[in-house]
């Protein structure tokens, strides 16, 4: 019998959370953040891959006359650094904005 009561409480809590305005805002914000950061990293990597595939001579040029270092090395490093920065941005926004929205949602549902 206890499991039916627990199930009813669980369903009630889910209904309460799902109907809260702050939940809709949390979902919208998280979704927008997720898609923008995913798209950014995807675009960075695919742009690099497209240059490697169709214009490898751009990356094969040396940085200076007599140098053994090609343009491709710092460009590849830039791809990695940009990916880290996008990931850092996601962590920052997630830790500040999304956590605040989650706290608001908990307060709303605790009433």
- pLDDT tens digits, 60-84: 999 999 889 999 999 999 999 999 9
- Rounded Cα distance between 17 and 100, Å, is 15
- Rounded Cα distance between 65 and 25, Å, is 55
- Rounded Cα distance between 38 and 98, Å, is 17
Q: Is the pLDDT of residue 35 over 80?
A: yes
Sketch the domain layout of the chain as residue ranges.
2-110
Percent of the chain with pLDDT over 90: 60
User: pLDDT tier at 33 (50, 70, 90 boundaries)?
Assistant: very high
Which DSSP category does 95 fall into? Answer: I
Q: Which two tokens stand for residue 107?
A: 């307060």
Q: Is the pLDDT of residue 90 over 80?
A: yes
Q: Is the pLDDT of residue 16 over 60?
A: yes
Residue linked to tokens 């805002």: 25
Mean pLDDT value across the chain: 89
Q: Is the pLDDT of residue 1 over 50?
A: no
- Rounded Cα distance between 47 and 91, Å, is 24
């Amino acid at each position: 019998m206890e499991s039916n009561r627990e199930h009813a409480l669980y369903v009630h809590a889910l209904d309460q959370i799902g109907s809260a305005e702050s939940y809709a805002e949390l979902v919208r914000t998280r979704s927008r953040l997720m898609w923008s950061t995913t798209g950014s990293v995807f675009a960075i990597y695919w742009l690099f891959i497209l240059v490697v595939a169709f214009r490898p001579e751009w990356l094969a040029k040396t940085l200076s006359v007599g140098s053994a270092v090609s343009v491709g090395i710092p460009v590849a490093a830039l791809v990695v650094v940009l990916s880290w920065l996008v990931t850092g941005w996601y962590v920052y926004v997630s830790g500040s904005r999304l956590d605040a929205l989650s706290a608001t949602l908990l307060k709303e549902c605790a009433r």
